Structure 1
Amino acid sequence: MADVSAPRIYSCHNCRNHVARHEDIFSKNFQASHGRAFLFSHAMNIVEGPKENRNLITGLHVVADIFCKNCGMALGWKYEKAYEESQKYKEGKFILEKFKITKENF
């Protein structure tokens, strides 16, 4: 039986490194190149790649790909800058692709 006091965590699907907490989900209504994705206000145990301009569904953004700090698997990206005023809420937040993370303690 799971410890109900343990935090609900998302881990890297490849190595089970903890990368985000359930309570930091900002939205579950995002789409990535390989399917559904979650927008998190915080992520942990990750490494950020170089910043680049990327044209996404919602317009041009400056993003940095994010990788598991333990195994190096690409997990998603961090929004560094949004050019459209309506997209500014994404700045500083993290996209994790659903199929690349695993639920722990749910």
Structure 2
Amino acid sequence: MGRIFVVDLEGRTYKCKFCKTHLALTDDVVSRVTPFLQFPQMGFHCRRGKAYLFNKVVNVTVGPHEERVMLSGMHTVADIFCCCCGQIVGWKYEAAHEESQKYKEGKFVLERDRIIDGVDTEFYIDTRPSISDPEDA
């Protein structure tokens, strides 16, 4: 087995929740909302909850291709794993069988409950800043 070289990203990042390895930049998020024609209000979802679609990710290994029926139709996907700890962190869209879903091909989905931000706290892209308590001001 060869040596693993880990890529460190600059900027606000998502990291593996289990080992803190850099996985993606927040700037590479394509969407947290899936533009389904029949389900316009739905977001990306996975087995364990919500997920985000990314143009690119780093420090992952790609598993074998398999056919999966998802809410948006049939897709050829491959699970992706953190290269350091081996935990599954999401999947890669290899092929979409429906024309309306072709935009997903070659993109990655990271499961929201398996990633943290660069400050070692869980965060969500759609989180709004809260107002401080008076005694904190």
Match of 2:17 in 1: 13
Cα distance in 2 for residues equivalent to 1:33 and 1:84? 22
**For 1:42, what is the secondary structure of its paired residue?**
coil
Match of 1:28 in 2: 32
Cα distance in 2 for residues equivalent to 1:95 and 1:57? 14
Q: Which amino acid aligns with 2:81?
A: F
1:22-61 maps to which residues of 2 (within 5 A)? 22-29=26-33, 30-61=44-75
Residues paired across the two proteins, number:
101
Return the index of the structure with the highest Cα Rg.
2
Runs of at least 5 residues in structure 2 that lack an aligned partner in the other structure: 1-9, 34-43, 124-137
Cα distance in 2 for residues equivalent to 1:21 and 1:50? 25
Q: TM-score, normalised by structure 1?
A: 0.92
Cα distance in 2 for residues equivalent to 1:82 and 1:26? 17
Runs of 4+ in 1 over 6 A off after TM superposition: none
Match of 2:76 in 1: 62
Q: TM-score, normalised by structure 2?
A: 0.71
Structure 1 or 2: more strand by fraction = 1
Percent identical residues: 49
Runs of at least 5 residues in structure 1 that lack an aligned partner in the other structure: 1-5
